[in-house]
Amino acid sequence: MAVVGLVSTTATLAALQYGSAKRLKQSVRETEYALTGHFSIIGAMGALMTAEGYDFRRILFTSPDQSDRQWIEWYCKEHSRQLYNLDIAPHKKAQFCLETTIRTLPDVAIAHSACSPMRTLHAAKEGDLCLLVPLRDALSLHVDGVDHELAAGMGAIGGQSTIDAPSGMQLLSIRLRRQLLLPLVQSASDLQSVAIVHDTQAMGLLRGYIRALDAEEAITTPEARHLLALHIHDLVALACAATRDARDLIEGRGKRAARFAAVKADIVANATHRNLTIDSLAARHGISPRYIGALFAGAGITFTNFVLEQRLAYAHRLFADRRFGHRTICSIAYDSGFGDLSYFNHAFRRRYGATPSDVRAATLRAGLAGSLGNDGTDQQVEAGGARNAWLSKERSLTHTD
């Protein structure tokens, strides 16, 4: 697949959008895709997923305004290539709309979809299982002539099922390896068809772990890919009633990783709250403060240092943003979760090798430099007649929901 103009500063999103049907060449089966942002990819339709593609980078499929059967068939083919076999029957009285983000590794693949009303047939390939989890609203599931109501947060795992998707449905789909999952569960026979997963706590851990993976642009090493796949299979097995021996294994592997991901996500979301303590965090997650301390110790860091890092990063982003230039250092430190200005200044300088004032001055100098022309004179900015054009830099932020 040839890539044109790939100069992204974030490189976290590959957004593929099907081109005009007239552009489709039957002989070569090439099509043009438009990347969200400023890029385009041109490649053979049959070569979308290569060996290098199994690195968990995001691929976004977005249906065109006027979707025809040809686009739907193409999408189903690409979905089948990366996850599992899929067939779509759009609702006759509703405009077709579909957006799917897919992230793929050799032993696991994850998709988040939002769509208009439609009926979809999901069928795992040989050696695989598929897990379907509605994230918002309930959906109707049909398996071997039996209808099931799948509430938001519940899961259905197995080989083949049909879904009646309501308008605006948000669906999490996971492709799993049968040989990695079956040794961990008590009733492997239940997975020969489709089993309904009711364990809301285990499913919550699974969803939280997957949300935490949003911070990862790609998984580049084989060891990390294998570990991630094991963690996801562990959490699915936990939700499907793991065996006693498997529970002991999962407790020290997948469940522990999910707990740690959930705790870190909680800290990132609430780091600026000065009442954030290890005790309050432990109470929210139903675990002991000692266990949280052990999770961080296993990662070679302390709870206190992790919280400090998040608060300093938040303050640094504000000092480096000209929109907050009117704010005092004291007010930003306070809003970042610090109660002692002297301690904040000391910690900030130790972390970044500069004072908050230094960071602001550097941002100002960069902005002024960006407003100068080649001859050293100021360039007039059209918007509002302002004389300063500020240099904007895209920063990648570690974030988990």
Query: Which residues, at least 6 apart from 284, have a Cβ–Cβ distance to it below 8 Å?
Result: 266
pLDDT of residue 148: 86
List the structure tokens of 134: 């509605």
Q: Which of 84, 112, 82, 86 is nearest to 99 (CA)?
A: 112
**Strand duo 85-90 + 118-123: pairing:** antiparallel
Tell me which amino acid residue 249 is: L
Spatial distance between the Cα atoms of 217 and 227, rounded to a whole number of angstroms: 16
Pair 32, 19: CB distance under 8 Å: yes
**Strand duo 194-197 + 155-158: pairing:** antiparallel
> Domains in the chain: how many in total?
1
pLDDT of residue 332: 95
Query: Is 381 part of any domain?
Result: no
H helix or E strand, kind and range, residue 60: strand 58-62
The tens place of each residue's pLDDT in the chain, 401 residues long, gives 222 222 222 223 333 334 433 333 332 233 333 333 222 222 223 334 444 558 899 999 999 988 788 999 999 999 998 889 999 999 888 889 999 999 998 899 999 999 999 999 999 888 899 999 999 888 888 888 888 888 888 898 888 889 998 888 899 999 999 888 888 887 655 566 788 887 778 888 899 889 888 878 888 888 888 888 988 998 888 888 777 777 777 777 777 888 888 888 889 888 999 899 999 999 988 889 998 998 898 888 999 999 999 999 999 999 999 899 899 999 999 999 999 999 999 999 999 999 999 999 988 887 666 555 444 433 332 323 322 222 222 223 233 33
Range of the domain at 181: 2-270
Query: Is 284 part of any domain?
Result: no
- SS3 state of residue 389: coil
Burial code (b: 16+ CB inside 10 Å, e: under 16) for 102-119 equals bbbbebbbbbbbbbbbbe
pLDDT of residue 224: 86
pTM for this predicted structure:
0.61
Pair 193, 249: CB distance under 8 Å: no
Q: Which of 70, 69, 67 is nearest to 98 (CA)?
A: 67
pLDDT of residue 333: 94
Q: In what order do the strands lie in the sheet with 155-158?
A: 13-17, 58-62, 98-105, 108-115, 169-177, 128-136, 155-158, 194-197
Q: What's 263's domain CATH number?
A: 2.60.120.10
Q: Which of 278, 283, 280, 287 is nearest to 258 (CA)?
A: 287
Query: Is 357 part of any domain?
Result: no
